A and B are shown apart, each in its own frame.
Chain A
């Protein structure tokens, strides 16, 4: 069964600093991978997705993620944090050719400080 692990349930950065949120996946074949963002009491919004077309994926709000098969990782980065980036971020995996059931990580709460 496939799964994702998000290292660090809470991450704190200063405004303007690099954001790095970690996600490692476990799958026998390269899966499809997604990053979602959730603001308090809201649904999830897609930031970006990896579907094997390119290993470096650019998303909304200046976020990007790089798929590294050798490290089984799909870390989310943003060069310069903004206060509005404070939210919870979820990494998710979907099996290739196996339907669209997403398996989510436990989430990382990002705090941005002045």
Chain B
């Protein structure tokens, strides 16, 4: 079955550590996205990529980094510079079609700082 796989489902990070969240898709979508979800704030865009080897900052990119070496993969690293990383992180993908196609979402990774 086609879809988006995020791993792990739960992740715990100590203060000062970098952690990497995995996102893999087999939908053959060119575009991929990372969103952060906090209670009462909806989803906010961290980074997005429209094509392999290219990505752009979203609205809240500070303290995060990404890479897009393969079409199928778009890992997100939460660095120690992110001061409040505890959140639910969602990866999505879509066919770039001028905005009219929907995004498909993974099941999310819940990151907690301990």
A–B complex contacts, Cβ < 8 Å, 7 sampled: A43-B4, A43-B106, A94-B99, A94-B100, A98-B99, A100-B103, A107-B42
Minimum distance in angstroms from B65 CB to a CB of chain A: 19
* A98 and B98 contact, CB distance less than 8 A: yes
Tell me the B93-114 residues at the A interface (CB within 8 Å). Answer: 94-108, 110
Segment with Cβ contacts to B, from A12-20, A45-53, A71-79: A45-53
Q: How many A-B residue pairs have CB under 8 A?
A: 75
Summarize A's interface: helix, strand, loop or mixed: loop
What interface size band does chain B fall in? 20 to 34
Minimum distance in angstroms from A7 CB to a CB of chain B: 14
Bound complex: CA of A46 vs CA of B100, how far in Å? Answer: 13
Segment with Cβ contacts to A, from B12-20, B43-51, B67-75, B79-87: B43-51
Inter-chain contacts of A45 with B (CB < 8 A) = 105
Is A9 on the interface with B (CB-CB < 8 A)? Answer: yes
Inter-chain contacts of B63 with A (CB < 8 A) = none
Residues of B within 8 A of A (CB): 4, 6, 31, 33, 35, 40-45, 48, 50, 58, 88, 90, 92, 94-108, 110
Is A34 on the interface with B (CB-CB < 8 A)? Answer: yes
Known: A44-B90, A51-B100, A99-B31. 16 other contacts (CB 8 A): A36-B105, A41-B88, A41-B108, A43-B4, A45-B105, A46-B102, A97-B99, A99-B96, A99-B99, A100-B95, A100-B99, A101-B45, A101-B58, A102-B92, A103-B45, A104-B44
**Which interface residue of B50, B102, B103 has the most chain A CB atoms within 10 A?**
B102
**Using an 8 Å CB-CB cutoff, how does the interface string of A27-60 with B read, 1 for contact, 0 for none?**
0000110101000011111100101000000000
